[in-house]
Chains A and B, each alone.
Chain A
Amino acid sequence: MKPELRQYFRLNRLPHIWCPGCGNGIVVGALVRAIHDQGLNQDEVVIVSGIGCSSRASGYLDFNTVHTVHGRALAFATGIKLANPKLTVFVLMGDGDAAAIGGNHLIHAARRNIDLKAIVFNNSIYGMTGGQVSPLTPQGKRATTAPYGVVANAFDLTELAKGAGATFVARGTAYHVVQLTDLLKQGIRHKGFSLVEAVTQCPVAYGRQNKPADPDKMLRWQKENAVNIRNRHKYSQEELEGKFLTGVLCKKDATEFTEGYQHLRDLLDSHE
């Protein structure tokens, strides 16, 4: 770890609970670097997380940290941000957390365009509970609760967020860590709801069931299948089959919710 990043970790809480080869640490590393590079004040950063392997990150990070309940991290964060808009609020979630049990909160946080920095650790599986199917498990892949392969379609969470009104949507991977850091930095700078999906590998719960279970190979898969949106035009529709886009997938301006609410208070004040 770079010495300048040590201050952001609760070193006495390490080692972490993540399995060898897990990509969560890489994503957290990118997040911390992004926070450092953006010069955020540690005391004014809140990390809210749900329940899952990835959500344990909040305990290792030396900020104001709130490890909430499964699926509701965005709702807790909405209260935090509304009550104190000065805080920079990150919301760390697993793909099950964000897309299944918390899917409705994701839609509505995006719709409100509240300035929360949502980061979804997409390992395509329920890690913490031992490999059950997630809404982001690709069709046909195996999970302990889909032993014959997943029947239903998977979500594209970035499309969902865009459709719901998120004003900054991006996707990166644990393999492309420089790009991921940059996307997180852009998310921090963005005023409004931002969602960064970080594709990460879970060799134990996902890899063992779907092969390869080797983290190197899983990272290589990310490398080979990620298509930077800037290069999209170089691919035909068939070539894009089975691949996924990375980079900034959506960015637009709209009134941020806490600012809109403050505007309402000011208006009411001036009418007094």
Chain B
Amino acid sequence: MNTHSRQPRLMQGNEAVAEAAIAAGVKFYAGYPISPSSEIAEICAEKLPLVGGTCVQMEDEISGIAACLGASLTGEKAMTATSGPGFSLMQENIGYGVMAEIPCVVVNVQRGGPSIGLPTSPAQGDVMQARWGTHGDHPVITLCPSSVLEAYSLTIKAVNFSEKYRNPVILLLDEVVGHMREKVELPEEGTLEIVRRKLPECDPEDYQPFKADDDGVPPMAPLGSGYRYHITGLYHDETGFPSSRPQVVEDLIRRLHRKIEDAKQEICLTKEYRTDDCEILVVSYGISNRSAYRAVKDAREQGIKAGLLTLHTLWPFPEEALKEAASHASKVIVAELNLGQMKQEVERILAGQVRVEGLNKVNGEIFTPNEILAGLGGTI
């Protein structure tokens, strides 16, 4: 990935998220402890004050994300982390972040649900919640690592995307990726691409806080910088003031979607393994991807023409990559730790062209490679 890397070290997934966030310029963390995400808060509590940043434990997850959004309005990069129950509590404010276009990273280290569920076991049950958890017809960006190194690199991407597109970005880990330790060789900090939100260049009198540039994203003035303006979660026009005029309403919601939609080329990250000629395509993400990769390798050794599409971006869904990878396939298998949330999306996109099957595991454990190999018709 890069030529400059640092000394190899053993790193935990949650630690990678915290360190990457700080490397990407995050200066503010607010949240509420919950397994299996708490290490992120603990590391931020230790490290942020050392770099002039702030880490505060709030009274709940609602205030955790609210404080992050507030901090972000002053120009700081902000992050919060949680797991299922807390992610549910954050939903209203995620919508506020979308509507008021406030950069912020929300980490959800998934555990088994619904409800308190399985506090220390992995699951991938929040995929659709990440997409549709907050009310209203909103756009969202969601990234999903399957290793510690990816937890690092995708956290950097999450911060960058949130800044560039002025939208909350959800980073979905799971208990295993969050707690797993792996040897990683991190990129040198100087070599990281770090993005900061656009600032206005006009005079304060001319500033239209929600008038977008061609990329659909308006420049964002920090609170207190002399650009006095109004921010609201109500529908608003380019001046930022509330409006319920049908044209204003439609223009705004369409623009919010368009700014993400138009950037899919950049945002939709995938990895392909032997998809060129695959007859059976496995689609997977997060921790399940690790087992799927092994299963596809084993299947190939047995002469089965299998391939793997790994989704690093879950939302917006990487449609083009899926269509391309499935172009020779007669069967697509979606392997996930839920009862078929992403399978539905894959079916929708392939719309009857290919048979889509779900491989699902919902017992609090991750797939073994053999379970997926069996799904591929391999012998064990």
Given A67-B231, A76-B66, A79-B66: A264 in contact with B49 (beta carbons within 8 A): yes
A80 touches B74 (CB 8 A): yes
Smallest CB–CB gap between A42 and chain B, Å? 7
Stretch at the interface among A56-64, A147-155, A194-202, A210-218: A56-64
CB distance from A14 to the nearest CB of B (A): 12
Chain B residues, CB < 8 A from A64:
223-224, 228-229
Bound-complex Cα distance A105 to B54 (A):
19
Determine the residue in chain A with the shortest Cβ distance to B46. A268
Among A66, A75, A78, A86, the residue within 8 A (CB) of B231 is: A66
- Docked Cα-Cα span, A46 to B92, in Å, equals 22
Inside 8 A of A74's CB, which chain B residues have their CB? 63
Q: Chain A residues near B242 (CB, 8 Å)?
A: 59, 67
Interface membership of B336, Cβ < 8 A: no
- The residue that A78 contacts in the complex, of B63, B73, B241, with Cβ under 8 A, is B63
B272 within 8 A of A: no
| Neighbouring B residues of A108 by C-beta, 8 Å | 58-59, 63
Please name the residue on chain A nearest to B99 by beta carbon. Answer: A69
Number of A-B contacts (CB under 8 A): 131
A79 close to B224 (CB less than 8 A) = no
Q: Could you tell me the distance in whole angstroms from the C-beta of A265 to the nearest C-beta in chain B? A: 5
Indicate whether A13 reaches chain B with its CB closer than 8 angstroms.
yes
A57-98 to B contact mask, C-beta < 8 Å, 1/0 = 011001111111100101111111111101100000000000
Neighbouring A residues of B223 by C-beta, 8 Å: 46, 64, 66, 80, 84, 87
A37: Cβ under 8 A from any B Cβ: no
Interface residues of B in 62-103 (CB under 8 A from A): 62-63, 66-76, 78, 92-93, 96
Complex Cα distance, B340 from A53, in Å, reads 44
In this assembly, does A261 line the interface, its C-beta being within 8 Å of a C-beta of chain B? yes
Residue of A nearest to B65 (CB): A75
Q: Check if A209 is an interface residue, CB within 8 A of chain B.
A: no
A91 → chain B closest CB, angstroms: 11
Q: Which residues of chain B are within 8 angstroms of A42 by Cβ–Cβ distance?
A: 228
Q: Tell me the chain A residues, 230-268 only, with Cβ under 8 Å from chain B.
A: 261, 264-265, 268
A108–B241 CA distance with the chains assembled, in angstroms: 31
Instruction: Decide if B254 is an interface residue (CB 8 Å cutoff).
Output: no
Q: Is A104 an interface residue (CB 8 A)?
A: yes
Number of B residues near A (Cβ < 8 Å) is 42
Q: Which residues of B contact A69 (CB under 8 A)?
A: 66, 92-93, 96, 233
Which residue from A44, A67, A86, A268 sits with its C-beta under 8 Å from B50?
A268
Name which residue of chain A comes closest to B51, CB basis. Answer: A265
Asked if B233 and A75 make an inter-chain contact with CB atoms under 8 angstroms apart, the answer reads no
The answer to whether B231 touches A87 (Cβ under 8 A) is: no
Binary contact readout A34-66 vs B (1 if CB under 8 angstroms, 0 otherwise): 000000001110101000000000110011111
Asked if residues B233 and A68 are in contact (CB atoms below 8 Å), the reply is yes
Contact A43 to B230, CB < 8 A, known contacts A80-B71, A87-B223, A268-B49: no
User: How far apart sit A76 and B58, CA to CA, in the bound complex (Å)?
Assistant: 11
Residue among A58, A59, A104 with max Cβ neighbours from chain B (10 Å): A59
The CA of A158 and the CA of B181, in the complex, are separated in Å by 50
> Nearest CB to that of A114 among chain B residues?
B56
Are B73 and A80 interface neighbours, CB within 8 A?
yes
- In the complex, which residues of chain A have a beta carbon less than 8 angstroms from the beta carbon of B70? 48, 66, 75-81, 83
Nearest opposing residue in chain B for A46, CB measure: B223
Q: Across the interface, do B59 and A105 meet the contact criterion of CB distance under 8 Å?
A: yes
With beta carbons under 8 angstroms apart, the residue of A67, A87, A268 that contacts B234 is: A67
Mask: chain A, 17-42; 1 = CB below 8 Å from B; 0 = not:
00000000000000000000000001
Chain A contacts for B232, CB-based, 8 A: 59, 66-67
Complex Cα–Cα for A231 and B72 (A): 46
Docked CA distance A198–B74 (Å): 28
Among A76, A107, A261, which residue has its beta carbon within 8 angstroms of that of B54? A261
A104 partner residues in chain B, CB cutoff 8 A: 59-60, 63
B312 part of interface (Cβ distance < 8 Å): no
CA gap between A105 and B62 in the complex, in Å: 10
Residues from chain A with a CB closer than 8 A to the CB of B56 are: 78, 82, 261
Q: Which residue, A62, A65, A69, A265, has most C-beta atoms of chain B within 10 A?
A: A69
A7 CA / B30 CA spacing, docked (Å): 35
Q: From residue 264 to 311 of chain B, which have CB atoms closer than 8 A to chain A? A: none
B224 to chain A, nearest CB (A): 5
Residues 25-63 of chain B, each 1 if its beta carbon lies under 8 Å from chain A, else 0: 001101000000000000000000110101010111011
- Which 9 pairs across A and B sit closest by C-beta, in order of nearness? A79-B70, A79-B67, A75-B63, A75-B66, A83-B71, A79-B71, A76-B70, A67-B232, A80-B70
20 contacts between A and B (CB under 8 A): A44-B224, A59-B241, A59-B242, A64-B223, A66-B70, A67-B230, A69-B96, A72-B63, A77-B70, A78-B58, A79-B69, A79-B73, A80-B71, A82-B28, A82-B56, A82-B67, A83-B76, A87-B74, A107-B59, A261-B56
| Contacts A43-B226, A83-B74 supplied; 15 other A-B pairs, CB < 8 Å | A43-B224, A66-B231, A69-B92, A69-B93, A75-B66, A78-B66, A78-B70, A82-B54, A82-B67, A82-B71, A83-B54, A83-B72, A84-B222, A105-B59, A108-B63
